[in-house]
Amino acid sequence: MRKNIPGFVLITLLVVCGSASAGLWPFEEDNVIEAVFDDKELEQGLFKKLFSEPVIRKESDVKVLSMGDTILIAGVAKSTELRNEIEKVVLAVVDVKREAGDAVLAKPANSQACEKKKQHLFNERRKFNLRNKAKCSAVRRVFNRVVISQPGDYLSRGEDAVLTAQVELALMKQNALTQEGVPLLKVASIGGVVYVLGNKNRNNEKQVVEWVEAVDGVSHVEMVY
């Protein structure tokens, strides 16, 4: 059973994690900051879009993480139909479609135009910009890890936020969360299940899982590359 955490602990954790994260961002590196902000912009845009859909807002609890060319959709939804609708919304926002018969790979929705103009080869940022859909989306993989279950209440979601902060703090202590301002891992928690999005070339999966499992309140760890 997950432990209830006092409010003052939640505030302390958020302040500590926020301050530590801010201290790791080297603002003199414009290209690094641009890449980080691209991911954050995309995550925020997806959250706003999903939250604006009444059924999704009321009957699911999902979080979306973005890193490079990869998007992870994690959480719970009341039905398979809703799970599919959540994915449909995400794919539409990032302007991609599934590769035929593949559950992960994606390609630009306007792939023919992209191939014709070779826009994606000249996009130095290699990131999708929500403000400019004329650029071809650089998203190439979309993982849908939404499971069919009853979404938690607001208290449960608050506990998830605390758990995410605790996991991020544990990874930060191991210098595994960021490197020179660039995220190495991203974390989301739903009902005690911790989803970790990372780069397989840079992360030691077994070690990361051990660090996360050591955090009190974690029921399961799912690594996604």
Tens digit of each residue's pLDDT (9 = 90 or more) over 39-96: 888 999 999 999 999 999 999 999 999 998 899 999 999 999 999 999 999 999 998 9
* Domain around 43: 7-224
- Residue 99: inside a domain, yes or no? yes
Predicted confidence band of residue 114 (pLDDT cuts 50, 70, 90): low
Residue type, 95: D
Predicted confidence band of residue 209 (pLDDT cuts 50, 70, 90): very high
- Residue 2: inside a domain, yes or no? no
CA distance 206 to 148: 27
Q: Is 23's pLDDT higher than 50?
A: no
- Residue 57: inside a domain, yes or no? yes
Residues 190-211 have a mean pLDDT of 89
- Residue 202: inside a domain, yes or no? yes
Amino acid 34: pLDDT: 52
- Residue 167: inside a domain, yes or no? yes
* Total domain count, the chain: 1
Amino acid 137: pLDDT: 75
- Residue 1: inside a domain, yes or no? no
Predicted confidence band of residue 135 (pLDDT cuts 50, 70, 90): low
- Residue 11: inside a domain, yes or no? yes
Residue 178 φ then ψ, to 5°: -140, 165
> How far is CA 22 from its chain centroid?
19
Tens of pLDDT, residue by residue over 28-43, are 444 444 555 688 889 9
Looking at the chain, the whole-number percentage of residues with pLDDT higher than 90 is 52
> Model's pTM, two decimal places?
0.75
Amino acid 36: pLDDT: 59
Residues 204-208 have a mean pLDDT of 91
Residue 62 burial (C-beta neighbours within 10 Å; 0-12, 13-18, 19+): buried
Amino acid 35: pLDDT: 52
Rg for the chain (alpha carbons), in Å?
18
Residues 180-204 have a mean pLDDT of 89
Amino acid 107: pLDDT: 85
Query: Mean pLDDT across the chain, nearest whole number?
Result: 79
Amino acid 127: pLDDT: 45
Using CA atoms, how far residue 4 sits from 1, 160, 163, 187, in Å, is 9, 11, 11, 20
Amino acid 111: pLDDT: 63
